[in-house]
Chain A
Amino acid sequence: MFIEYTWLIPVIPLLCFLIVGFLGNKTPQGGGYIAITGAAIATVLAVLVSCEFWTSAAYSDVGYVTQQITWFTLPGGFTLHFGYYIDSLACLTMLFASFIAMLIFVYSLGYMHDEGVRKRRYFGEVSLFLTGMLGLAVSSNFLEMFIFWEIMGLCSYLLIGFWSFNHPDGDAASENAASAAKKAFLVTRLGDVCLMAGLFVLLFAFKTLDYADMFTEEALAAVDPNMIILGSLLIFGGVIGKSAQFPLLDWLPDAMAGPTTVSALIHAATMVKAGVYLTARCFPLFTQCSWILLWVAIIGGVTAFFAATMALNNMNIKKVLAYSTLSQLGYMFLALGAGGYMIALGLEQGNEALIVAGSAGYTAGLLHMVNHAFFKALLFLGSGSVIHSCGTEDMRKMGGLGKKMKITSITMLIGSLSISGFPFFAGFWSKDLIIESVMHASDFGEQTLFLILWFLAIVTAFMTAFYMFRMWFMTFQGVEGVNAHHTHGESPKSMVVPLCILSIFAAGLGFVILFGFDNLISIGENAAGNLQVGSGEGKGFEYITEIFGNVYTWMTIVLVLMAMGIAYLMYSKKTMNPGKFNKNGESRLYHALTMRWWFPQLYDQIAWKLGYGVARGVDFVDKNIIDGTVNGISNAVIGGGEILSKAQTGNVRSYTTVVFGGVVVFFCVILGIFWYMGGL
Chain B
Amino acid sequence: MFDLPEIPYLLTLLVVLPLIGAIITLFMGNERAKYAKYTAATMSGITLILTFFLLLAKNLSVYSENYAWIESAGLKMSYILQIDGLSILMVFLTALLVFLVTIFSSHQEDKPNYFFALLLAMEVGLMGVYMSADYFLFYIMWEVTLIPMYFMISWFGGPRRHYAAIKFFIYTHVASLVMLIGIFAIAIQAAAGGVVDFSFAAVAIGASAFSSTFQIFVFGLLFFGFAVKMPIVPFHTWLPDAHTEAPTAGSVLLAAVMLKMGSYGIIRVCLEVLPDGAVWWQPAMVVIAIVAILYGAYACIAQKDLKKMVAFSSISHMGMVLLGIACLSEVGVEFAIFLMFAHGLITAVLFMTCGLAHDLFETREIPLLGGLAGKVPIYAAFMMFGFMASLGLPGLVGFWGEFGIIFAFYEYSFSINMIWLIIFCLMSLMLTAGYYLWAMQRSLFGKLTDKIETAHLRDINKSEAFALVIVCGLIALFGLWPDLALGYISDYTSSLVTLGVVI
Residues of A within 8 A of B (CB): 71-76, 146-147, 149-151, 154, 157, 161, 164-166, 171-172, 174-175, 177-179, 181-182, 185-186, 189-190, 193-194, 196-197, 200-201, 203-204, 607, 611-612, 614-619, 622, 626-627, 630, 634, 638, 643-644, 647-648, 650-652, 655, 658-659, 662-663, 666, 670, 673-674, 677-680
Contacts and interface: CB of A to CB of B under 8 A. Distances in A.
Interface stretch (B27-35, B116-124, B444-452): B444-452
B331 A76 contact: yes
Question: Which 6 residue pairs of A and B lie closest in terms of their CB atoms, listed nearest first?
Answer: A615-B301, A679-B75, A178-B445, A619-B302, A171-B447, A75-B330
A171 B446 contact: yes
Nearest to A652: B162
B407 interface: yes
Contacts of B486: 72
Contact of A165 (B196, B446, B497): B446
Contacts of B447: 171-172, 174-175
A132 B118 CA distance: 45
Interface string B450-490: 00000000000000000000000000000000110010001
Contact of B171 (A164, A181, A194, A630): A630
B237 A182 contact: no
B173 interface: yes
Interface in B378-433: 388, 393-395, 403-404, 406-407, 410-411, 414, 422, 426, 429-431, 433
Contact of A197 (B167, B236, B372, B422): B422
A662 B406 CA distance: 42
Interface in B212-244: 233-234, 236-238
B169 interface: yes
A74 B299 contact: no
B438 interface: yes
Contacts of A189: 429-430, 433
A147 B434 CA distance: 20
Contacts of B177: 666
Given A147-B394, A644-B166, A154 B302 contact: no
A165 B445 contact: yes
Contacts of B170: 634, 638, 659, 662
A200 B406 contact: yes
Interface string B195-218: 010000000000000000000000
Given A164-B446, A643-B166, A662-B170, A612 B301 contact: yes
A178 B166 CA distance: 41
Nearest to B170: A634
Contact of A185 (B75, B331, B437): B437
Contacts of A161: 445
B448 A165 contact: yes
Q: Is the interface of A mostly helix, strand, loop or mixed?
A: helix
B430 A626 contact: no
Interface residues of B, number: 76
Contacts of A203: 407
B395 A147 contact: yes
A151 B180 contact: no
Contacts of B373: 164-165
B298 interface: yes
B166 A150 contact: no
A189 B399 CA distance: 14
A166 B447 CA distance: 8
B207 to A, nearest CB: 19
B82 interface: no
B295 interface: yes
B410 A204 contact: yes
A182 B411 CA distance: 32
B9 interface: no
Contacts of A149: 394
B393 A622 contact: no
A655 B486 CA distance: 45
A672 to B, nearest CB: 12
B471 to A, nearest CB: 18
Contacts of A678: 73-74
A339 B166 CA distance: 68
Contacts of A201: 410
B163 interface: yes
Contacts of B433: 185-186, 189
Nearest to B494: A75
Contacts of B426: 193-194, 196-197
B55 to A, nearest CB: 18
A75 B490 contact: yes
Contacts of A72: 482-483, 486
A74 B407 contact: yes
A618 B334 contact: no
Contacts of A194: 426
Contacts, number: 186
A617 B295 CA distance: 10
A181 B440 CA distance: 11
A644 B167 contact: yes
B114 interface: no
B422 A662 contact: no
B363 interface: no
A72 B447 CA distance: 45
A12 B430 CA distance: 32
A196 B429 contact: yes
A171 B301 contact: no
B39 interface: no
B92 interface: no
Contacts of B165: 647
B106 interface: no
19 contacts: A147-B394, A150-B395, A164-B445, A164-B446, A165-B446, A171-B371, A172-B447, A182-B440, A185-B437, A612-B302, A615-B302, A622-B295, A626-B236, A626-B237, A630-B237, A643-B166, A647-B163, A659-B166, A679-B72
A679 B73 contact: yes
A76 B429 contact: no
B331 A74 contact: yes
B282 interface: no
A650 B162 contact: yes
A190 B374 CA distance: 29
B58 interface: no
A200 B302 contact: no
Given A189-B429, A677-B75, A679-B73, A622 B490 contact: no
B130 interface: no
A63 to B, nearest CB: 28
B50 to A, nearest CB: 28
Contact of B331 (A75, A650, A651): A75
A662 to B, nearest CB: 7
Nearest to B442: A178
B448 A182 contact: no
Contacts of A618: 295, 298-299, 302
A84 B494 CA distance: 31
A617 to B, nearest CB: 8
Interface string B90-106: 00000000000000000
Given A164-B373, A165-B374, A630-B237, A679 B196 contact: yes
B173 A662 contact: yes
A186 B430 contact: yes
A616 B374 contact: no
Contacts of A150: 393-395
Given A679-B73, A679-B196, 13 more contacts: A74-B404, A75-B494, A150-B393, A166-B374, A171-B446, A171-B448, A174-B446, A175-B446, A196-B406, A647-B167, A659-B169, A674-B75, A677-B188
Given A175-B447, A204-B414, A71 B166 contact: no
Contacts of A644: 163, 166-167
B192 to A, nearest CB: 14
A455 B160 CA distance: 68
Contact of A670 (B180, B298, B388, B437): B180
Nearest to B176: A666
Nearest to B300: A615
Contact of A655 (B162, B171, B431): B162
